[in-house]
Homo-oligomer: A and B are copies of this chain.
Amino acid sequence: MARKTKAEAEQTRTLILDTAEKLFHEQGVSHTSLADIAQAAGLTRGAIYWHFQDKLDLFNAMHERIAMPFSETLEKLATLEDPLGALRIRCIEDLENLVDDEHLCRVLSVILHKCEYVAEMGQLCERFDSHVCKVMEAKEKVMYHAHQLGQLRRGLDPHLAAVALHNFMLGTISDWLFAPERHCSLRRDARVLVDIFFRGIAAAPLPD
């Protein structure tokens, strides 16, 4: 086939990523072959091997497309005057936004429920782990600052507060993605759920 212009090639790369994302979500990562992806994208395996080293590299690229937004803006919350309140708002927004972001839903669903974390994916596990750690550290900073401002319940370890929040959000997203709207409507109940948690760590009653 003919050579394409750089812009077209970039478009092809994006098409491959979009298609992979979709098929991974429908069939699972290990049950989706590169041939499947190529066919669904109207290409051949050659195209995929041109843009990506192998399946793992493709998966990594898929993760990179959504990894950034999470930890970045979180850091800034620690410097605000009401860190705990800001963190609460942020958590509620994260859940509410997730509902409308099909793209993010698919990728998170793949990561949480359509992928096996084993030796072969070792490189991947480490990347995820380091990413989670970065997010945790950011949350920890916010909690620590909130602690210094007396916003946390007395005697509460800021580190454990961050861990607990992380676990709560992870479980909430994980369960909702597994069976959307089964146990709760995330769009409707996000605020109530998050507030249940924050009432557990806040020194003062939450604002209305």
Contacts and interface: CB of A to CB of B under 8 A. Distances in A.
Given A117-B113, A196-B201, A166 B183 contact: yes
A70 interface: no
A120 B31 contact: yes
A157 to B, nearest CB: 7
Interface string A154-186: 001101110110111111101100110011100
A127 B12 CA distance: 40
Given A116-B115, A119-B27, A171 B166 contact: yes
Q: Provide the main secondary structure of the chain A interface.
A: helix
Nearest to A200: B200
Contact of A174 (B28, B31, B174, B182): B174
Q: How many copies of this kind of chain does the complex include? A: 2
A29 interface: yes
B178 A193 contact: no
Interface residues of A, number: 49
Contacts of A168: 164, 167-168, 171, 197
A201 to B, nearest CB: 6
Given A30-B28, A174-B170, A175-B170, A193 B118 contact: no
A51 interface: no
Contacts of A201: 196, 199-200
Nearest to A116: B28
Interface string A87-118: 00000000000000000000000000111111
A54 to B, nearest CB: 15
Interface of A: 26-31, 113-120, 129, 132-133, 136, 153, 156-157, 159-161, 163-164, 166-172, 174-175, 178-179, 182-184, 189, 192-193, 196-201
